[in-house]
């Protein structure tokens, strides 16, 4: 079996490194003081100005007594020009030994070529880091999806559009934080290792706390701790951090994902609706530059009022006005005729929800607030005033996937205990008694909301797979 040492390109680069060392160039340099990043140098460009810069060598074109090359530093790319008579013979010959992917520091003067390319004319250079393995073939970039995910660093180097995506993700998260802080919200941090996995219905990752001789869980949601803060007097809080769910990997799910959770006292789900509409429009305009995402039939229009429709109404539109009058047997038959696999143990509630999740949700392209869901599906929300079988919530769906569920939060400790107990069934130890104790001290009426950041970035950038918008997605170990 071949090893990395057998790679012929690596062997050639090792030989070039040896020659450079003999000429006095250390292959792995130290700190290098720059005039600025390449984008800063371009923004403040002035001919004859002396600058220092650093970056990765991306192209090199040997013209005999001169060499044109491109360097990139993460902010921009810049052309450099090495001339034998300017550098001196030894430095010029050493420059010729550089390989694509090497990281160098340069000193020189700015000028514009005859083709009007802003360029650095080198007066000196130094080797900062020798690349022993080659980059993917430059004209085709990195196409293998598996390698792109496993070796994201190569993806970032060779595919500029990928770097642009993650630059926008970073800016989007910065803008989300700023939007909330500007509106008086406090960013807080709550435990990621918890004694009980609460706040959602999901399978947790289990770990062991040696010092306490106790099994613990990576959190599936921060909700119950954030509500404790409402009890404690914080009236506007949010947390933007990681959740963990020991469940499947697919196009829209990663077991480690970024979630924004927001809670505001003295409001309700309508306050959350106003907040999320403003937040998404703000990020779309200020980071992605438009309220219309995508092209043609796949375009999402974020402008104007977003549709609001009741959950039951959507099911009736898809399955017929008489859906809720059908017997369970007839409903199962109709669902199976629509192409669904129905578990024989399911009741009407679960059959209806399967219809929603598999046939309806994915058809909701433009922003849609799906409201008034069955109370049995959401134990942490307050019921609707006119129907105790429904809860005062919405699920914001865009591009066929849930982006943000929001609730008028349950603050009645007696009702909350009953619902959590029903949800736990025979596993009553899963009921979070400390949370219920907090509620008994009085939690103000509140609105709460979760926003899937990864899915939001997918929506605004037009990507279809969650792994495309996560720098290092979970993959099966080799």
Q: How far apart (Å, rounded) are the C-alpha atoms in residues 346 and 397?
A: 25
Q: Is the distance from CB of 87 to CB of 124 less than 8 angstroms?
A: yes
Domain ranges of the chain: 8-135, 157-306+366-468
pLDDT value of residue 309: 98
Q: In this structure, are residues 121 and 83 in contact, taking their beta carbons and an 8 Å threshold? A: yes
Do residues 119 and 80 lie in contact, with contact meaning Cβ atoms separated by under 8 Å? yes
Rounded to the nearest angstrom, the gap between the alpha carbon of residue 76 and the centroid of all alpha carbons in its chain is 23
Q: CATH number for the 157-306+366-468 domain, one of 3.10.200.10, 3.40.50.2020, 3.40.50.720, 3.30.930.10?
A: 3.30.930.10
Orientation of helix 160-182 relative to helix 453-461, angle to 10°? 120
Residue reference for tokens 């706040």: 199
What CA–CA distance (Å, rounded) separates 429 from 421?
Answer: 9
Q: How far is the C-alpha of 173 from the C-alpha of 287, rounded, in Å?
A: 10
Query: What is the four-CA torsion angle of 341, 345, 347, 350, rounded to 10 degrees?
Result: -50
CA pair distance 396, 272, nearest whole angstrom: 11
Which tokens is 475 given? 């993959």
Stated pTM of the model? 0.91
Other Cβ atoms within 10 Å of 11 Cβ, number: 11
Position 289 scores a pLDDT of: 95
Class of domain 8-135: mainly beta
pLDDT of the residue at 139: 44
Q: What pLDDT score was predicted for residue 248? A: 83
Render each residue's pLDDT in the chain as its tens digit; 478 residues.
456 777 889 999 999 999 999 999 999 999 999 999 999 999 999 999 999 999 999 999 999 999 999 999 999 999 999 999 999 999 999 999 999 999 999 999 999 999 999 999 999 999 999 999 999 875 455 667 888 899 999 999 988 999 999 999 999 999 999 999 999 999 999 999 998 888 888 899 999 999 999 999 999 999 999 999 999 999 999 999 999 999 988 888 999 999 999 999 999 999 999 999 999 999 999 999 999 988 888 899 999 999 999 999 999 999 999 999 999 999 999 999 999 999 999 999 999 999 999 999 999 999 999 999 999 999 889 999 999 999 999 999 999 999 999 999 999 999 999 988 887 777 777 788 999 999 999 999 999 999 999 999 999 999 999 999 999 999 888 7
């Amino acid at each position: 079996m071949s090893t990395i040492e057998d790679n012929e390109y690596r062997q050639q680069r090792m030989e070039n490194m040896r020659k450079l060392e003999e000429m006095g160039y250390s292959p792995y340099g130290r700190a290098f003081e720059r005039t600025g990043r390449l984008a800063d140098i371009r923004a403040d460009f002035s001919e004859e100005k002396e600058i220092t810069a650093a970056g990765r060598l991306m192209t090199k074109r040997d013209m005999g007594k001169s060499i044109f090359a491109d360097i990139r530093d993460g902010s921009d790319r810049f052309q450099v020009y090495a001339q034998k008579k300017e550098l001196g013979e030894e430095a010029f010959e050493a420059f010729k030994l550089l390989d694509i992917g090497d990281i160098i520091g340069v000193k020189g003067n700015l000028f514009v070529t005859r083709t009007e390319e802003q360029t650095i004319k080198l007066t000196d250079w130094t080797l900062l880091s020798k690349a022993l393995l080659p980059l993917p073939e430059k004209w085709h970039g990195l196409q293998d999806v598996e390698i792109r995910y496993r070796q994201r660093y190569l993806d970032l180097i060779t595919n500029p559009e990928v770097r642009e995506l993650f630059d926008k993700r970073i800016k989007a998260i910065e803008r989300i934080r700023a939007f909330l802080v500007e509106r008086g919200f406090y960013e807080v941090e709550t435990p990621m290792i918890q004694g009980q996995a609460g706040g959602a219905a999901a399978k947790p990752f289990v770990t062991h706390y040696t010092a306490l001789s106790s099994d613990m869980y990576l959190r599936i949601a921060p909700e119950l701790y954030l509500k404790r803060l409402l009890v404690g007097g914080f009236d506007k809080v949010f947390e933007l951090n990681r959740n963990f769910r020991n469940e499947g990997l697919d196009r829209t799910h990663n077991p480690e994902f970024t979630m924004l959770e927001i809670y505001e006292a003295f409001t309700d789900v309508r306050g959350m609706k106003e907040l999320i509409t403003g937040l998404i429009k703000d990020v779309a305009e200020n980071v992605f530059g438009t309220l219309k995402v995508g092209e043609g039939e796949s375009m999402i229009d974020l402008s104007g009022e977003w549709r609001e429709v009741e959950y039951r109404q959507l099911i009736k539109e898809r399955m017929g006005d008489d859906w809720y009058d059908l017997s369970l047997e007839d409903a199962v038959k109709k669902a199976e005729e629509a192409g669904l696999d129905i578990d024989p143990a399911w009741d009407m509630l679960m059959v209806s929800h399967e219809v929603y999740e598999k046939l309806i949700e994915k058809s909701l392209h433009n922003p849609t607030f799906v409201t008034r869901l069955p109370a049995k599906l959401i134990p942490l929300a307050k019921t609707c005033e006119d129907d105790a079988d429904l809860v005062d919530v919405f699920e914001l769906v865009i591009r066929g996937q849930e982006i943000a569920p929001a609730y008028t939060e349950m603050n009645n400790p007696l009702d909350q205990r009953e619902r959590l107990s029903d949800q736990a069934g025979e596993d009553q130890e899963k009921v979070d008694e400390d949370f219920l104790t907090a509620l008994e001290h009085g939690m103000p009426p509140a609105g709460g909301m979760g926003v899937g950041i990864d899915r939001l970035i997918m929506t605004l950038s037009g990507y279809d797979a969650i792994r495309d918008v996560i720098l290092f997605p979970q993959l099966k170990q080799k």
